[in-house]
Amino acid sequence: MFRPQPALTKSLQLLEEDLGAKLFYRSARGMEPTEAGNVLYRHARAIDQEARFASLDIQENHLNLAGRIRIGIGPVLALSAFPDVFVDFHRQFPSVEVTVDMGVSSRLMEGLARDDFDLVVTAFPGDPLPEKYVALPVFRSDMIVICRTDHPLRKSGGATLEELCKYQRVGFSEDREFEKRSHRSLGASAAKMRPLLQTTSLSVMFGILSATDYYAIVSSMILPSAQRDGLDRLTIHHDLWQLDIGLVCKSTLSTTRPVVAIRDALLKYVHHRSHPAGSSQC
């Protein structure tokens, strides 16, 4: 809704008087927020988030829900699980506007702390979460090595860490969580396996791996997509780590209908992937 400039200026002055703090620096170049202004903005975003989710939770007919939800997701999940999850969520909440941004887990967690996202779907960080956040687990994924199907290391049926270190690795850009886990799992070899090339795109990663003798260490859930690009898992004679994957959000949002629906859709995806149609179960 449009408000005349004098009325807006007066409202801002009244707000500053009520708070007892200047919210903006005024100059010939315009206005910039003060530290108090930035603090107020963060509180306003948090209030907006709580209000949006309260509205989605209170309305009785979820088919007519109108609202907005912002989701951060890792690149592997974006390509593998999330299309099915989004379709399932949209069937339940067809009027809810969904914004999805992709990033590595460390950047997603930073965005969640800034309230850039309402929730993130990613591998859980190794460090404890801040008190107001909660991790909602969905499944566990193995880390594996992938490379092209005619890679030289396949001739011996597998590779040691020493042999793997003779080749270059492609990794995700600024993936600090990966680096911490690799040092814990691989020891001194981790430094030798630092990526020569970094990207945020799995398509770019797969293209490089298909055209070179490079390799990548990724979640096993991406293997079907990698195989369609002429890549496959490489057996290595060393155990890699596992990732716990699920949702992270504020504790106050964890039982709201949108968060529960996304988690349920992820659980359904994992179940279907583990037990495809037509398979027999003992």
- A 10 A CB-CB count for 72 gives 25
Look at the domain 141-242 and name its fold: D-Maltodextrin-Binding Protein; domain 2 (3.40.190)
pLDDT along the chain (282 residues), means of 10: 58 69 72 74 72 69 64 90 89 87 91 91 89 92 95 87 94 88 90 90 94 95 93 93 93 89 92 65 40
| 158 token code pair | 């597998």
Which of the four CATH numbers 3.40.190.10, 3.40.47.10, 3.40.718.10, 1.10.10.60 does domain 41-140+244-274 have?
3.40.190.10
Place of tokens 């583990």: 274
The torsion angle over the Cα atoms of residues 179, 181, 187 and 189, rounded to 10 degrees, is -40
Ranges assigned E (strand) in 96-184: 96-102, 119-123, 133-148, 170-172
Residue 112 near residue 120 (C-beta atoms within 8 A): yes
Q: What is the CA radius of gyration of the chain?
A: 23
List Cα–Cα distances, 6 to 9, 98, 135, 146, in angstroms.
5, 35, 46, 62
Upper half-sphere CA count for residue 167 (Cβ side, 13 Å): 22
Question: Same topology for domains 41-140+244-274 and 141-242, yes or no?
Answer: yes
Backbone angles phi, psi at 243, to 5 degrees: -120, 135
Q: What is the DSSP code string of the chain? A: ----HHHHHHHHHHHHHHHTS--EEEETTEEEE-HHHHHHHHHHHHHHHHHHHHHHHH-S-GGG--EEEEEEE-HHHHHTTHHHHHHHHHHH-TTEEEEEEE--HHHHHHHHHTTS-SEEEEEPPSSPPPTTEEEEEEEEEEEEEEEETT-GGGGGTSB-HHHHTTS-BEEETT-HHHHHHHHHHHTTHHHHT--SEEES-HHHHHHHHHHSS-BEEEEGGGHHHHHHTTEEEE-BSS---EEEEEEEEEGGGTTSHHHHHHHHHHHHHHHHHHS-TT----
Place of tokens 């080749």: 167
Per-domain residue ranges for the chain? 1-33, 41-140+244-274, 141-242
Give the orientation angle of helix 176-186 with respect to helix 105-113, to 10 degrees.
130
**How buried is residue 11: exposed, middle or buried, by Cβ count under 10 Å (0-12/13-18/19+)?**
exposed
144: which strand partners?
218
Tokens standing for 272? 């279907």
